[in-house]
Structure 1
Amino acid sequence: MTTRTWPRRLMTGLYWFVALQFALGAITKYWPGETFAGPPYSTQFIEWGYPSWMRFVIGTLEGLAAILLMIPSRRTRFLGATTLVFVLTGAVTTHIINHDVLAESWAAPTYLIISGVLALVDWPADWRDLLRTATPSAARAAHSTE
Structure 2
Amino acid sequence: MSQRSRSGRLRTGFYWFLGFEFFVGFATKFWPGSTFFGPAYAEKFADWGFHPNMRFVVGALELIAAVLLVIPRRESRFLGAAMLVLVLTGAMTTHLIDDAPFWQGTSAPIHLVIMMIVALANWPADWRDVVPPWGRVAAAPRGTVALRDR
Tell me the residue number matched to 1:92.
Answer: 92
Name the SS of the counterpart of 1:36 in structure 2: coil
Residue-pair matches, total: 136
Summarize deviations over 1:6-57 as a string: whole Å, max 9, x none: 2212211111001000001101101000000100000000111110010000
Percent identity of paired positions between Structure 1 and Structure 2: 49
> Within 1, Cα distance between the matches of 2:109 and 2:131?
29
> Within 2, Cα distance between the matches of 1:110 and 1:119?
14
The answer to whether the aligner puts 1:52 opposite 2:47 as a matched pair is no
Deviates more, 1:36-45 or 1:10-19: 10-19
> Within 2, Cα distance between the matches of 1:80 and 1:132?
16
Report the residue type matching 2:45 in the other structure.
F
Tell me the residue number matched to 1:101.
Answer: 101
Gaps of 5+ in 1: 139-146
> Within 2, Cα distance between the matches of 1:49 and 1:131?
34
> Within 1, Cα distance between the matches of 2:116 and 2:11?
14
Gaps of 5+ in 2: 134-138, 143-150
Report the residue type matching 1:34 in the other structure.
S
Report runs of 4+ in structure 1 exceeding 3 Å deviation: none
For the 8 Å contact 2:58–2:87, the answer to whether it is kept is yes
Which of the two has higher C-alpha Rg? Answer: 2
Q: What is the RMSD computed on CA atoms of the aligned residues?
A: 1.6
TM-score of the superposed pair, with normalisation by structure 2: 0.86
TM-score of the superposed pair, with normalisation by structure 1: 0.88
Tell me the residue number matched to 1:20.
Answer: 20
Structure richer in helix, relative to its length: 1
Report the residue type matching 1:25 in the other structure.
G
> Within 2, Cα distance between the matches of 1:6 and 1:117?
20
